[in-house]
């Protein structure tokens, strides 16, 4: 028997079911898929359903259907974050019991003057967990990493972020905690996602360091934006991905990613486009920008 080695590449697409997939999500799904498949890697889908009140009914099914109709096949069973609460609770309690996280009872109103950077008011208050948000203490240090597309990114956790929430007052676990635990648990080696999460990455690096987890490689894609500069799907209701649009939208997403599908692919099936895409994938051609106006795409 040879020792089990972990696969060289495990990627993932991690949609939040607060709405349907739109063109911006297609770009993220496609890039993470092609980056994995082009090197024979695994590609997982994880449903980030941490926030039931913000979940749109039917969104989970619609997301999976859209992925299927666009030709995507994922490895293994899809994981839902709603099934992972025990794992999150265990780590959260351990951080709390070691004094690395603490309970915060500050109201939104109290924090208003601080513009989103928590000033540490409850750091040494010794509140218990009841009816409180749980915040992670951050060190007064700069964290940095080299992104495959965006290059070097630095952020001072104390100055630019402050102690951040890992469980909300209403008991819901925060994205930052869940994403780090799940990426590690699933053995993710490579994270390919939108540049709106670039400034979350240093928080995630700190959590990885704290918990002794391996740091994945990162590739943050330019965000597809509306003429008003907003991220697609946020303020503006961008249209859902329709099955009959799969070929033209996959071609458009490939071009947005700097790839060059030829005219002979104009009538290819989604599966053929994904196959072409993985055979010809060149991540160095992805535009090195934070945003990409949708109107500039073919
Ligand atoms: N669930 C997040 C989103 O839909 C993505 C998380 C991630 O890729 O790290 O924006
Ligand atoms: Zn507080």
Residues near ligand 1 with C-beta < 6 Å?
14-16, 48, 179, 193, 197
- Cα–Cα dist 166/178, whole Å: 8
Atom of ligand 1 minimally distant from the CA of 179: 9
| Residue 234 labelled as part of a binding site | yes
Ligand showing the shortest atom-to-Cα distance for residue 164: 2
Atom of ligand 1 minimally distant from the CA of 25: 4
Residues pairing with 225 in the sheet: 231, 293
The model's pTM is: 0.94
Ligand 2 centre from 96 Cα, in Å?
15
Q: From first to last of its 298 residues, what are the pLDDT tens digits of the chain?
A: 444 555 699 999 999 999 999 999 999 999 999 999 999 999 999 999 999 999 999 999 999 999 999 999 999 999 999 999 999 999 999 999 999 999 999 999 999 999 999 999 999 999 999 999 999 999 999 999 999 999 999 999 999 999 999 999 999 999 999 999 999 999 999 999 999 999 999 999 999 999 999 999 999 999 998 877 677 655 556 788 999 999 999 999 999 999 999 999 999 999 999 999 999 999 999 999 999 988 777 6
pLDDT of residue 297: 78
Find all residues with CB under 8 Å of 155, minimum gap 6, and list them: 142, 143, 144, 161, 199, 201, 202
At 193 the three-state DSSP class reads strand
Domains of the chain plus CATH, in order, are: 10-83+182-297 (3.40.50.620), 85-176 (3.40.50.620)
Ligand 2 centre from 232 Cα, in Å?
33
pLDDT of residue 2: 46
**Nearest to residue 238, comparing CAs of 92, 25, 5?**
25
pLDDT of residue 1: 42
φ/ψ region of 258 (left if φ > 0, alpha if ψ in -120 to 50, else beta) reads left
φ/ψ region of 224 (left if φ > 0, alpha if ψ in -120 to 50, else beta) reads beta
**Nearest to residue 145, comparing CAs of 93, 219, 207?**
219
| Residue 13 labelled as part of a binding site | yes
| Residue 16 labelled as part of a binding site | yes
| Residue 145 labelled as part of a binding site | no
- Mutate-to-test residue for ligand 1 from 197, 205, 232, 233, highest number of ligand atoms within 8 A of CB: 197
The 10 Å CB-count burial string (b at 16+, else e) for 214-237 is: eebbbbbbbbbbbeeeebbbeeee
pLDDT of residue 23: 94
What sign does the dihedral 209-210-213-218 (CA atoms) show? negative
- Cα–Cα dist 241/26, whole Å: 8
């Amino acid at each position: 028997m040879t020792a089990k080695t972990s696969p060289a590449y495990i990627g993932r697409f991690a949609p939040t079911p607060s709405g349907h997939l739109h063109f911006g999500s297609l770009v993220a799904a496609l890039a993470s898929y092609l980056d994995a498949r082009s090197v024979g890697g695994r590609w997982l889908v994880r449903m980030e359903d941490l926030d039931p009140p913000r979940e749109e009914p039917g969104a989970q099914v619609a997301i999976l259907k859209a992925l299927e109709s666009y030709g995507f096949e994922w490895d293994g069973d899809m994981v839902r974050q709603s099934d992972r609460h025990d794992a999150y609770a265990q780590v959260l309690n351990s951080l709390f019991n070691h004094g690395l996280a603490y309970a915060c009872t500050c109201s939104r109103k109290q924090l208003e003057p601080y513009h989103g950077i928590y000033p540490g008011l409850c750091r040494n208050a010794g509140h218990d967990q009841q009816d409180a948000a749980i915040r992670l203490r951050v060190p007064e240090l700069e964290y940095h990493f080299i992104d495959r597309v965006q290059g070097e990114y630095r952020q001072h956790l104390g100055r630019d972020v402050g102690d951040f929430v890992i469980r909300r007052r209403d008991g819901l676990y925060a994205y930052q905690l869940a994403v780090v635990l799940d990426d590690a648990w699933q053995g993710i080696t490579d994270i390919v996602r939108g540049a709106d999460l670039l400034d979350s990455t240093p928080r995630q690096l700190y959590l990885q360091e704290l918990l002794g987890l391996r740091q994945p490689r990162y590739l943050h894609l330019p965000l597809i934006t509306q003429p008003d500069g907003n991220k697609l799907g946020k303020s503006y209701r961008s249209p859902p991905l329709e099955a009959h649009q799969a070929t033209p939208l996959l071609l458009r997403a490939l071009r947005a990613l700097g790839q060059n599908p030829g005219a002979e692919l104009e009538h290819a099936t989604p599966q053929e486009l994904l196959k072409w895409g993985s055979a010809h994938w060149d991540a160095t051609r992805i535009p090195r920008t934070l945003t990409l106006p949708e109107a500039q795409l073919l």
